[in-house]
Chain A
Amino acid sequence: MSLLTVNDLKVHYPIRGGFFRKVVDHVRAVDGISFELQPGETYGLVGESGCGKTTSGRALIGLNKATSGEMLFEGKDLAKMGKAERRGYTKDIQMIFQDPYSSLNGRKNVLSIIAEPLRNFERLSPKEELLRVQELVARVGLNPESIYKYPHQFSGGQRQRIGIARALALNPKLIIADEPVSALDVSVQAQVLNFMQEIQKEFDLTYLFISHDLGIIQHMCDRIGIMYRGRFVEEGTASEIYNNPQHVYTKRLIAAIPEMNPEKRFEKMHLRQSINEEYQTEYNNYFDKDGRMFDLKKISDSHSVAMQ
């Protein structure tokens, strides 16, 4: 059974205007996406800014409300739950945030930051709590003394580890990682990515990995969903997406990855130009008359594309 099944999830924000600030229209931030997460896999959600990938992640963890659709976590629909019932599942779904500078409370020391989820969900004596936090801090590779330090005393990579320790505190099943390394330097990125892979094996975690960086997504993910304007344009395994992209938008994204071989840079430039032409000339094959994507259609067992 899949760990999480998302069915036709929509998140719409009202646009108010006119007399009495009536709702005149909606921003369709997420407009009907469906996907499944298998236990232990890393699923990548890719797209450019404003495509709805972060909104989807936040809807799953309950930070914003889903307008409609189902989010089945181990068979139970999170969207229909009341607050109290949903709280029971908060333990199992945790989040790693993008910016390690703003996601840690600067007035709390590391002990209180990491212990916060424990205090909310588990009744531990101060001694047990300290022990758990020390364990977690050691696991993410920080000095045990650092639990009495404050976030500003750490570098970006170390802060992100504190954020990961906090996410791990309640032994979650699913971790939603929203651009976990985009605020970090290249060499620190490598550190955090390696570490995330290690703990995935160790704690048997499932990741929903949200990113705009296609290089990192390819490195980390088993399966990938490409989002554009609140909808999926293509979904498949990493190799299907990278080696055999079908949708013109996917092709465009992949062609935009900078070419690491300097000799091929003009080839790449021409490739981009020809894809742009395809985008212009074959627009109608990929988008309907309102500019919306078509629904996903399977082209193989694991690969689906939003084409007519």
Chain B
Amino acid sequence: MKKPVLDIKDLRTSFRIKGDYYAAVDGVTLTVHENEVVAIVGESGCGKSALALSIMGLHDHKNTKLEGQVNFGDENLLSLSRSRLNKVRGKDIGMIFQDPMTALNPLATIGRQIEEPMDYHMKLSASDKKKRTMELLRRVGIKNEQRVYEQYPHELSGGMRQRVVIAIALACDPVLLLADEPTTALDVTIQAQIMDLMKELQNQMKTGIILITHDLGVVAEMADRVVVMYAGEVVEIADVKELFENPLHPYTRSLLNSIPSNLEAKEKLHVIDGIVPSIQNLDREGCRFAPRIEWIPEEDHEKNPEMHEATPNHFVRCSCYKTFYFPEDRVGEREYVATNS
């Protein structure tokens, strides 16, 4: 069994809106092992980014309430003092941000920005730092590292910038990497390059990676295990192969059916009825996905939906997956029943 790196227990992140607290991450439990890529998928507003920021302690402290545990090593990150937390993030936990242009400081050279975390977390001489930076640049696939070292972010292309962001995240040999939509702002061919680079680096460095994305294609290419989130809750966890071959939760199945896939030409894409509820208007009782699959009778849902282990290591929330079907698949059948009775 691999060693767990990060162990999140019943994490609840609530934001204050007009005096009341509303949970955007609502009781998330998950474990990341070393050398494992855990993908967190969901649409905007499902709480995936809020989850990442909670782990890093990057939320605005005045208006955010964090409950539960985020165990990293033998410490609970949520109860650490700010100064202690600053010793962990940037060193043992690295973060890759979505938009490389805003993640980089336009006024500092690339070399300076990669060396910055080393200044905080490692005691290195100037020449060692530079040597290490050059090596990092080479490792993220930048060939003319001497030149890039002296350059500013605006002189680099989007793909190069994202490589630099990755180099910064890797600067202090993290045990855990948090990648929040690392390829979303990039072109397709550059996305493919960055995905391949991350896979390669992960094979070499054996870090645990939390990959946050809305793109199921990126998940299929990168992840070992997948966590599907909807409206602040985890609705399904499974190994990547299992999830794509045998998705269980109605939300996962609907999502997979709504992307145009190159495997089979479909006449029509599946549309999920209704909209994602905002965290203020969310009905926190019962199955949260129920309003969007109204054709499933109420008694098929649980009152307090819990995670069930459907097959070994494949967890799914609520019992509605057992009887779920797509109405468009049943159109023919119903007519058949009607004409025969």
Q: Mark A255-282, 1 if CB is under 8 A from B, else 0.
A: 1111111110100110011000000000
Any chain B CB within 8 A of the CB of A218? yes
Any chain B CB within 8 A of the CB of A214? yes
Within 8 A of B (CB), among A211-237: 212-216, 218-220
Nearest opposing residue in chain A for B44, CB measure: A185
* Complex contacts, B259 vs chain A, CB 8 Å: 186, 189-190, 215
- A261, B244: Cβ atoms closer than 8 Å: yes
Contacting residue for A258 out of B44, B187, B218, B276, CB 8 A:
B218
- A185, B43: Cβ atoms closer than 8 Å: yes
Nearest opposing residue in chain B for A269, CB measure: B196
* Complex contacts, A48 vs chain B, CB 8 Å: 187-190
Nearest opposing residue in chain B for A258, CB measure: B217
Q: Mark B232-258, 1 if CB is under 8 A from A, else 0.
A: 000000001100100000000011001
Q: Decide if the interface of chain A is mainly helix, strand, loop or mixed.
A: helix
- B220, A259: Cβ atoms closer than 8 Å: yes
Give A49 to B264 CA distance when docked, in angstroms.
27
With contact pairs A49-B187, A194-B271 given, residues A258 and B244 touching in the complex (Cβ less than 8 Å): no
Within 8 A of A (CB), among B173-213: 187-192, 195-196, 199
Any chain B CB within 8 A of the CB of A287? no
Residue tally, chain A, CB below 8 Å to B: 38
Any chain A CB within 8 A of the CB of B80? no
Shortest beta-carbon distance from B269 to chain A in Å: 4
- B258, A269: Cβ atoms closer than 8 Å: no
Give A194 to B270 CA distance when docked, in angstroms.
9
Any chain A CB within 8 A of the CB of B263? yes
Any chain A CB within 8 A of the CB of B260? yes
With contact pairs A185-B43, A186-B43 given, residues A256 and B191 touching in the complex (Cβ less than 8 Å): yes
Any chain A CB within 8 A of the CB of B214? yes
Within 8 A of A (CB), among B138-189: 187-189
Shortest beta-carbon distance from B51 to chain A in Å: 18
Any chain A CB within 8 A of the CB of B272? yes
Shortest beta-carbon distance from B63 to chain A in Å: 22
Nearest opposing residue in chain B for A195, CB measure: B271
Give A218 to B262 CA distance when docked, in angstroms.
7
Shortest beta-carbon distance from A200 to chain B in Å: 13
Q: Mark B114-136, 1 if CB is under 8 A from A, else 0.
A: 00000000000000000000000
Any chain A CB within 8 A of the CB of B216? yes
Give A5 to B196 CA distance when docked, in angstroms.
40
- B263, A260: Cβ atoms closer than 8 Å: yes
* Complex contacts, A194 vs chain B, CB 8 Å: 268-269, 271
- A260, B260: Cβ atoms closer than 8 Å: no
- A215, B44: Cβ atoms closer than 8 Å: no
Residue tally, chain B, CB below 8 Å to A: 40
Nearest opposing residue in chain B for A48, CB measure: B187
Shortest beta-carbon distance from B34 to chain A in Å: 20
Shortest beta-carbon distance from B64 to chain A in Å: 24
Q: Mark B252-288, 1 if CB is under 8 A from A, else 0.
A: 0011001111110110111110011000000000000
Give A80 to B221 CA distance when docked, in angstroms.
49
Q: Mark A167-183, 1 if CB is under 8 A from B, else 0.
A: 00000000000000000
Shortest beta-carbon distance from B240 to chain A in Å: 4
Contacting residue for B199 out of A193, A212, A269, CB 8 A:
A269
- B43, A255: Cβ atoms closer than 8 Å: no
- B188, A253: Cβ atoms closer than 8 Å: yes
Any chain A CB within 8 A of the CB of B302? no
Any chain A CB within 8 A of the CB of B215? yes
Any chain B CB within 8 A of the CB of A191? yes
Give A262 to B246 CA distance when docked, in angstroms.
13
Any chain B CB within 8 A of the CB of A155? yes
Shortest beta-carbon distance from A77 to chain B in Å: 34
Give A219 to B263 CA distance when docked, in angstroms.
11
Contacting residue for A187 out of B260, B266, B271, CB 8 A:
B271
Within 8 A of B (CB), among A142-164: 155, 157
- A190, B262: Cβ atoms closer than 8 Å: no
* Complex contacts, A216 vs chain B, CB 8 Å: 260
Give A190 to B276 CA distance when docked, in angstroms.
15
Give A262 to B195 CA distance when docked, in angstroms.
13
Give A272 to B194 CA distance when docked, in angstroms.
12
* Complex contacts, B241 vs chain A, CB 8 Å: 262-263
- A258, B220: Cβ atoms closer than 8 Å: yes
Give A262 to B216 CA distance when docked, in angstroms.
11
Nearest opposing residue in chain A for B218, CB measure: A258
Any chain B CB within 8 A of the CB of A242? yes
Give A242 to B270 CA distance when docked, in angstroms.
23
Any chain B CB within 8 A of the CB of A252? yes
With contact pairs A212-B187, A262-B241 given, residues A193 and B260 touching in the complex (Cβ less than 8 Å): yes
A-B contacts, 5 listed (Cβ < 8 Å): A157-B275, A191-B271, A194-B268, A215-B217, A218-B262
Known: A48-B190, A213-B188, A268-B221. 8 other contacts (CB 8 A): A186-B43, A193-B269, A194-B271, A219-B260, A255-B192, A257-B217, A258-B218, A265-B221
Report, nearest first, the 3 A-B pairs whose CB atoms are least far apart. A258-B217, A219-B260, A190-B269
